[in-house]
Amino acid sequence: MSMIEFKNVEKYYGDFHALKNVNLKIDEGETVVLIGPSGSGKSTLIRTVNGLEEIEEGQLLVNGFDLHDPKTDMNRIRKNVGMVFQHFNLYDNKTTLENVMLAPRLVLKRDEAENKKLAMELLEKVGLADKAANMPSELSGGQKQRAAIARSLAMQPKALLFDEPTSALDPEMIGDVLDVMRDIAKDSAMTMLVVTHEMSFAKAVADRVIFMAEGQILEDSTTKEFFEKPKEVRAQKFLSQVEHH
Amino acid sequence: MALLQNNFPTFLQGFGYTLLSSIIALIGSMILGTGFAIMQILPQKWAQVIGNVYVQVFRNIPLLIITFFFFLVVSKYVKMSGFTSGTVALMLYTSAFIAETVRAGILSVDGGQMEGARANGLSFAQAMQHIILPQAFRIALPSLGNQFINLVKNSSILAFVGGLDLMYQGNMVAANTFDTFSTYIIVAIFYLILTLPLSYYIQHLEHKLKRAL
Ligand SMILES: Nc1ncnc2c1ncn2[C@@H]1O[C@H](COP(=O)(O)OP(=O)(O)O)[C@@H](O)[C@H]1O
Ligand SMILES: [Mg+2]
């Protein structure tokens, strides 16, 4: 069953045509990497999936619900679709542990003892158990991002969106975050859509690679196909640029 | 000193009414001010307009006029004492300033906080309550403190409508004893008893919250 499905989706910012006739299907459990030059609409596309951006035309089905239908309850979608941001967006007024526990408590009404147990397990998993009581301002960038991933996982979502999760990190922090993401991708039930410039991650983890430019999906290939020989000239160019970086 | 001793119950009563009026107006204006601040940042145009009109109206009319409006006009339809008229006016007037302060606080919270919260599954209201407003209040605390102190001082407006407050009782004592100077010194000291601890408490909170961040 497809978890995310774009059907002829158009998105505008005022007069600016940000997504052009996007068609895309991502099955449950798939890990898809989305690449493309800056300004090509990667963030826009990924943000439509949990309703942070509205679409103007077409259909966008997430977990069976059409986001373009005004009757769709966006909060219900977001319960099932987590998101990890470039700049973490941790709750600055909450400890690491509270960051992880807040949404399950408020939204899922998870029992407090169970919530805490699960949150600590997740912090353990991302290597932050010893930072549970710290405020976000006391964490390094890499730690913040791992805390943000734990926060998303605590909702036990069906899908996770990552928008350049390592782009704001110092190089030595990137590995730990990618390791955590790799672990999540191993969970066969989790659907992942990842915007990243980390080609080694894409090669190792992605089932498919999607290449975007100027608001359009230019290529949608299996990872193997894509890295052996991209069909699109622009994708080839882009690849050689990021790989020699 | 004799003046204070002889009129102590009067001053004390005034002090009590000033304190009561201040507390009611403070709580009320925080609730109203926060509500109208949120209305101004909602995406719905009508909410923005209501919030904006409310703030502009109450911020740009002298407190005395608002007080007289309640005491002389509204009280014809809804029975209310001078104390009530003055306190309600003080609450509405202050809430307009608090709305502006809180709105500025909300706007200076990083937009990523709301996005993070919504993406995490929180509703707009939950995000406001647990994430945005606590940070906005912290940012706004110094100027909220100023509003609170102004509120206590502005409660002297009650004296104009027989509100039984500190200023009102001071006027009474001054009229009876003809010792205007000493009377108002005593009144001023009673105001300081309210405002100084409030000032220090706000400063203390600022320091505490700065460390928590
Ligand atoms: N909120 C917005 N308002 C107007 N234009 C926007 C907005 N967000 C993005 N854009 C524009 O849409 C295009 C795609 O942006 P984005 O999706 O952020 O690209 P990417 O993530 O691939 O770098 C860019 O030209 C950008 O300037
Ligand atoms: Mg982007």
pLDDT of B212 strictly over 70: no
* H or E element at residue A20: strand A16-27
In chain A, the number of structural domains is: 1
- Asked if residue B102 is part of any domain, the answer here is yes
Residues B159 and B168 sit within 8 Å (Cβ to Cβ): yes
Rg (CA), chain B: 20
- Chain A residues in contact with B113 by the CB 8 A cut-off are 89, 91-92
- Name residue B133's beta-bridge partners: none
B150: in domain: yes
Kindly determine whether residue A79 and residue B135, on different chains, have CB atoms separated by under 8 Å: no
Other beta carbons within 10 angstroms of residue A4's beta carbon come to: 25
At residue A21, φ and ψ (nearest 5 deg) are 40, 60
| Mean pLDDT (whole number) for B86-114 | 97
Pick from B39, B42, B44: which is nearest to B55 by CA? B39
CB A22 within 8 A of CB A216: yes
| Whether B191 contacts B185, CB under 8 Å | no
The domain of A70 spans 2-243
ipTM attached to this prediction: 0.92
Residue B183 lies in a domain: no
Judged by CB atoms closer than 8 Å, whether chains meet at A78 and B119 is answered as yes
Count the residues in chain A. 245
> Which 3 state secondary structure label does DSSP give A204?
helix
The residue-averaged pLDDT of B176-187 equals: 92
Is A223's C-beta closer than 6 angstroms to any atom of ligand 1? Answer: no
The whole-number pLDDT of residue A147 equals 97
- At A112-168, the pLDDT tens digits run 999 999 999 999 999 999 999 999 999 999 999 999 999 999 999 999 999 999 999
pLDDT band at A24 (very low <50, low <70, confident <90, very high): very high
Cβ A48 vs Cβ A28: under 8 Å:
no
CB contact under 8 A, B113 and A106: no
- Which two structure tokens, joined as six digits, stand for A174? 């990137």
Q: At what angle do helices B166-177 and B180-212 cross, to 10 degrees?
A: 160
Residue B213 banded pLDDT, cuts 50, 70, 90: low
CB contact under 8 A, A79 and B121: yes
**pLDDT tens digit sequence for B9-47:** 999 999 999 999 999 999 999 999 999 999 999 999 999
Say which range, B1-5, B170-174, B202-206, has the weakest mean pLDDT: B1-5
Q: Tell me: pLDDT of A1 over 80.
A: no
What CATH number corresponds to the domain at position B126? 1.10.3720.10
Backbone angles phi, psi at B165, to 5 degrees: -80, -175
Q: List the domain range (segments joined by +) for residue B151.
A: 17-167
Global pTM? 0.91
Label the pairing between strands A31-35 and A208-213.
Answer: parallel
In a domain, B58, yes or no: yes
Q: Residue A70's pLDDT band (boundaries 50, 70, 90)? A: confident
pLDDT at position A82:
96
First to last CA, chain B: 48
Spatial distance between the Cα atoms of B8 and B17, rounded to a whole number of angstroms:
14
Residues from chain A that touch B126, judged by Cβ atoms under 8 A, are 106-107
Torsion on CA atoms B9, B15, B18, B19, rounded to nearest 10: -120
- Residues A197-209 have pLDDT tens digits of 999 999 999 999 9
In a mutational test of the A interface, the residue from B108, B109, B114, B120 whose CB has the highest number of chain A CBs within 10 Å is: B120
Residue B116, in any domain of the structure: yes
Taking any CB pair shorter than 8 Å as contact, residues of chain A touching chain B are 50, 52, 75, 78-79, 82-83, 85, 87-94, 102-103, 106-108, 135, 137, 148, 151-152, 155
- Asked whether residue B59 is domain-assigned, the answer is yes
CATH code of the domain containing A65: 3.40.50.300
